[in-house]
Structure 1
Amino acid sequence: MREQDIELFHRVQNKDEVALELLYDRYEKLLFSFSFRMTNNKFLAEEAVQDVFTKLWSKSLPYSEEKGKFSSWLLTITRNTCLDLLRKKKSNDYELKERDALQEDNDPSPEETAEWKEQHEEIQHAIKELKTEQQEIINLFYFRGFTQSQIAKKCNLPLGTVKGRVRLSLQHLNKILTKKKERGIRE
């Protein structure tokens, strides 16, 4: 039986390297695909994934089962990490252009590119199955980097409504992706 995410997380907090590897194997592709969608930059996406797993290992992070699924919490950490990296990029753009130039020699293999594209498409198809207002919330919050307060102003909604929609949208998205994975459906 597959070990639950929360059990692995607690083991990682106790410096269990095997648990970290299991979580990495389970979430690396999803987090990379998500990060690449946010940053549109392979280097930054890889850096974001590395930063997330480094944080899991080196910091005492405040995950609570009552506040939602582990995967949603992990995506939130990834989102925040991507936003931090994008802010750093804006303030240090010249240095990143040099790094990107160096990365050209390390382009992903055709297999890796196909796999990333497939994962990206799976997430996009799953998002399309959400209600229109949930799609908008996910787009604004995760892919455009709006804060919940900014979304409330833009959509003329109370902040509590925005928070609830973000949470529900993530729950629905997770259910859709889980069902597709269980059935082995690839659209």
Structure 2
Amino acid sequence: MQPDDLILRLQQKDEKAFERLYTLYSQSIFGVINSVLHDTEASEEVLQDVFIKVWDNCDSYSSKKGRFFTWLLNIARNAAIDKTRSKSFKNQKKNLTQEYFVDIIESKNSFSNKMDAIGISKYIKTLGEECKKVINLLFFKGYTQKEASEELSIPLGTIKTRNRLCLNKLREILVE
């Protein structure tokens, strides 16, 4: 069955279609969530929340606005960022283990594993270094545009412009 057929059936609240879409996308979406949270248990919880949101809001998806995976990815990314901003998550991270920091240090400048997790590394490799940095911070590390601006020491307006331009380049590559 084609993904478009599954999405249509999902929008008709077909549980089998939902299960199939979960099977197809859950591993990639988990990778994105975990790259933001660095916490397997919390990532699994957010993954479940994401798919509940997908079930509840599947009527809001329109193929005219973009691909299903992109829609799903945005829900996941936003849910992961919301989780990092929650009081309970912040309190939980007050006493972090050294393994958490080692993981952050080791992955600070490399996001190829995260890109591979969602299958877009070959596309992002074709972008320039500036685009790679912006996409890494905003989409794979969960930075806000303001935080990315501070991290890269460039004006907020420049981050916003680069983000828009880089995403447009990425869309062009994906359409080809």
Q: What is the TM-score normalised by the length of structure 2? A: 0.68
Match of 1:163 in 2: 164
TM-aligned CA deviation for residue 18 of structure 1:
0.7
Q: Name the counterpart of 1:51.
A: 49
Displacement of 1:27 in angstroms is: 0.4
Shift of 1:36: 1.1
Structure 1 spans left out of the alignment, 5+ residues: 101-117, 176-187
Number of residue-to-residue matches in the alignment: 153
Contact 2:114 2:140 in 1 (8 A): no
Is the CA contact 2:135–2:163 (under 8 Å) kept in the aligned structure 1? no
Q: Which residue of 2 aligns with 1:3?
A: 2
Tell me which amino acid in the other structure corresponds to 1:136: K
| 1:64–1:137 CA distance, 2 compared to 1 (3 A) | farther
Quote the Cα distance in structure 1 between the aligned partners of 2:156 and 2:67: 26
SS class of match (1:46):
helix
Structure 2 gaps of 5+ residues are 97-111
For the Cα contact (< 8 Å) 1:8–1:19, is it kept in 2?
yes
Percent identity at matched positions?
A: 30
After superposition, the CA RMSD in angstroms is 3.5
Q: Distance in 1 between matches of 2:62 and 2:39?
A: 31
Which residue in 2 is equivalent to 1:122?
116
User: 5 Å matches for 1:24-103?
Assistant: 24-88=22-86, 91-93=87-89, 96=92
Task: Check whether the contact 1:137–1:166 (CA below 8 A) recurs between aligned residues.
Answer: no
Cα distance in 2 for residues equivalent to 1:130 and 1:158: 16
Alpha carbons 1:140, 1:151 under 8 Å: kept: yes
CA displacement, residues 14-64 of structure 1 (integer Å, 9 cap, x when unaligned):
210011011011101101111111111101211121111111112355223
Farther off after superposition, 128-137 or 162-171: 162-171
- TM-score normalised by L of structure 1: 0.64
Deviations, residues 97-154 of structure 1 (Å, cap 9, x unaligned)? 6xx9xxxxxxxxxxxxxxxxx9647348544453212212211211232345765764
Q: Does 1:15 align with 2:16?
A: no
Deviates more, 1:63-72 or 1:43-52: 63-72
**Consecutive aligned runs of 4 or more in structure 1 exceeding 6 Å deviation:** none
Distance 2:43 2:171 in 1: 21
